Every structure is written in C-alpha cells, then in structure tokens.
Structure 1
Amino acid sequence: MPHFVVDYSDNLHELLDFQPLFKALHDYVVSTGAFPIGGVRSRAIRCYDYRVADGREGFGYLNLSLKIGHGRDMALKQAVAERVFETLCDWMQPVTAERYVQISFEMTELDPVLKFNKNNIHPLFA
C-alpha cells in the first residue's frame, strides 16, 4: 500500500501521459516515510462507457482513488490527501485549460481484518 487507481473517460486518452503523474505520486508518498516503496502501485483504467453532466461529447472526467492500509493518523492522511489532489490538479492543468473535465479524488483506508495481500517485492527494498 498505497495503491493509486485512476479511471478516466475515453475522450481524454490521447491527452494523458500517466507515467509522470505516477512518478510524482510515488516519490511523494515514499518521501513521507509512512509508505514503503515496495508496496506502492498505480494503474489507469480507460472507461469507454460513461456520461458526464448533460452528455456533451467534449465533457470528460478523471477520478483518482488512493487506497491505504490502516493505522496512519488523521493529520498525515489529510496532508497526503491534500498534496495528492494538488499534484493531480497540477498534472491535469494543460487538459483543463482546453477542455471541460470533472476531476475527483478520494482516499480510502482499508480495514485491517478484511484486507489481505502477499508481496515478495518488499525484501528488495529492505
């Protein structure tokens, strides 16, 4: 953890290069000292079926979800959420300067009893 998951409207696909965003997000969360590099992952999911507002063809959306493990204090979570959203909006600025786009972000803290994972990458960074 953390996991960044982006879903976005198909009409934005040609305008987006996710690797710089993912690098900035990974670098930031690791720099906090609260998230180990071996657990950070990001992915983008292109949505072909969507409707934004009144359905105008040019309207787009991009939603970023951040899933984190349980146990971090609220001050850290709030600071991380604010910085992640700022990074996202800065990265989207060239697109929003030219198009109408809804941008959203949410952070979810996963329940420690209901979350399972196996990761053999962590030892590489120990």
Structure 2
Amino acid sequence: MPHLVIELTENTRLNCSQEELLDEANAALLASGQFQEADIKSRCVTLSTYRQGVDAVERAFVHARLSILDGRDTAVRQALAQAVCDVIAEAVRAGSGTGQDVQVSVEVCEMARATYAKQVVA
C-alpha cells in the first residue's frame, strides 16, 4: 500500500519512458509523507483497445487509480490525487506537441483496513 495503476491509451505520447513516469509518481507519493518508500507499488497498463467519445478524431487519455488504506481525510486524498495528476500531466504535456488532446484523470480509492491483508515474504 499504496498501489498506483496508470492506464494509458497506446497513442499517448510521453516525453519520458513509462519507467521514468513511475519513478516520478513514486517520488511524488513518497514526498507526501504519507507512505514508506518500500510500500509504494506502481505499474503502467497500456490500453490497445479503447474508445473516447464518438467522433472519429485521434484522442488519448491517461487514468490513474491510487488505492490507499482508509482513514486519511479529504484534503490529504485530494493532495495525493493532484500530485499524481501533476506528474502525469507534465510527462504528457511536453510529449504531445501534435495538437492531440490528452485527458489526464486520477482517482483515489480507499481500501478497508479491516479487510486488507499483506505479508512480506523474505
């Protein structure tokens, strides 16, 4: 915990690699002071089949889901969402340059502590 899943359409142009995007997102989450470094887990999922709207124009989107344990107030959750959104938007902004609109969104989901299980196997 936390788990960050970044889904992006295959036509999304980034100014960095997906690995670098994850590094930046993890750094932003660590800088929030809410998580321990080794607990931050992230991954990118590239979408090859997707639709956005109904018009026949090239569009792209990136949606991130940040799953965290419950108990944090709304202000903290909003700050986490904005931090991740800023990292993604920066990676997309410099890479677009083609007139393509890219929608970036982030949702923060709370996992119930009472039903969350975790083991570290060493």
Please give the TM-score of this superposition, normalised by the length of structure 1. 0.80
Which structure 1 residue ranges, 4+ long, deviate > 3 Å from structure 2? 13-16
Superposed CA RMSD: 2.3
Are the equivalent residues in 1 in contact too, given 2:6–2:65 (CA < 8 A)?
yes
> Following superposition of structure 1 onto structure 2, how do residues 36-51 of structure 1 map, counting pairs within 5 Å?
36-51=36-51
Segments of 5+ residues of structure 2 without an aligned counterpart are: none
Please give the TM-score of this superposition, normalised by the length of structure 2. 0.82
Shift of 1:57: 5.6
Length, aligned pairs only: 121
1:84–1:112 Cα change, 3 Å: same
Are the equivalent residues in 2 in contact too, given 1:4–1:66 (CA < 8 A)?
yes
Are the equivalent residues in 1 in contact too, given 2:12–2:92 (CA < 8 A)?
no
Query: What SS does the corresponding residue of 2:12 show, helix, strand or coil?
Result: helix
| Distance in 2 of aligned mates of 1:56 and 1:44 | 26
| Distance in 1 of aligned mates of 2:7 and 2:95 | 16
| Distance in 1 of aligned mates of 2:104 and 2:118 | 29
| Distance in 1 of aligned mates of 2:52 and 2:37 | 35
| Distance in 2 of aligned mates of 1:106 and 1:97 | 26
> Following superposition of structure 1 onto structure 2, how do residues 26-105 of structure 1 map, counting pairs within 5 Å?
26-54=26-54, 56=56, 58-98=58-98, 99-105=100-106
Segments of 5+ residues of structure 1 without an aligned counterpart are: 122-126
| Distance in 1 of aligned mates of 2:84 and 2:103 | 16
More helix by share: 1
Identity %: 22
